[in-house]
Structure 1
Amino acid sequence: MKNWDEIREELKAPFATNVLKFRAGVGGKQLAYIDARAVMKRLDDVVGIENWQCNYEDLSGRVICRLSIRVDGEWITKCDGAGDTKIEGEKGGISDALKRAAVLFGVGRYLYYLPAGTTINNLPAWAVPK
C-alpha cells in the first residue's frame, strides 16, 4: 500500500502530452487543460478504482464535487464546484467540478503555472513526464 507522500507525488505528476488539450482564453492566451476522463484514469492508476469516490451536490446552480481518496483506511475529501458550461450545460458543470476538486489533490495543478505562450510544442521541462 502506498503512503500519502507517494500518492501525492503520483497525483501531481505531469500528464503525457497526448492527454493535454488547449483552448483560447481571455486575450487569446492559450490555456492547457485535461478532460475529466484523464482525471478518473489518474485516480484509478494511482489509488485504485476502489479507493476514490465523488459525490455531487447542486448548490444554487453550481455543481459541487466532493472528491474523496482513501489512504491508510481513512477518507480524505476535498470539494470544489463549477457552474453549467456553454456546451452540454449540466454535464459540463459536473466534469468541471470533478476536475477542479482533483486540482486540490494536485491533479493537473501544474497547468495553471504554464508560462504565457505555452503550446504543446514548447512545454517547459518541468511540465513533461519523466
Structure 2
Amino acid sequence: MSVQTFDVEEKRKRINVFKVGKLWVFKYFFADNQDLFRQLAYHYNRDTYRFEFKSLGERNQGLKLLERNGFNAYPIEDLKGYVVKLDKFSKYAPVLKNSVAFTETPKERIFLMKDHAAVDEGI
C-alpha cells in the first residue's frame, strides 16, 4: 500500500512596505534570520526602529531580498485602513510598538500601523 503525500508550501510571512512622504518604510523583527537583517542593516533607522528606503530602486532591491528569503512584501501607497487615532491623553505605548510612523496634533496622536492585526489591537 502506498502512502499519499502532499506538497505543502511553507506559509510566507507578510511585510507591508508603506510610502510615507518620500520614504518607503516597514517594521519587522528578524529574530530568526539575522543574516537577512545584516543584508538590510544599511536601511535600518535605529531611532525609529524601522527600515527605510529612500528611492524606488532601493525599495525594489529590498522587496526582492525579502521575497528571496521567504516573505511576501507588499508596497502600499494608500494608507487608509492602517491608521489609528488616539486621544492625546490616552495610553499609547502598546500602539507605538506596532506602528511604523506616528504624528501628533494638539488633540490626538495618529499612528500608521504595520498591518491590519496591529490596527485591530490598537483600536
TM-score when normalising by structure 1: 0.27
Which has a greater percent of helix? 1
Answer 1 or 2: higher relative contact order, Cα 8 Å, separation at least 6: 1
The higher radius of gyration belongs to 2
Which has a greater percent of strand? 2
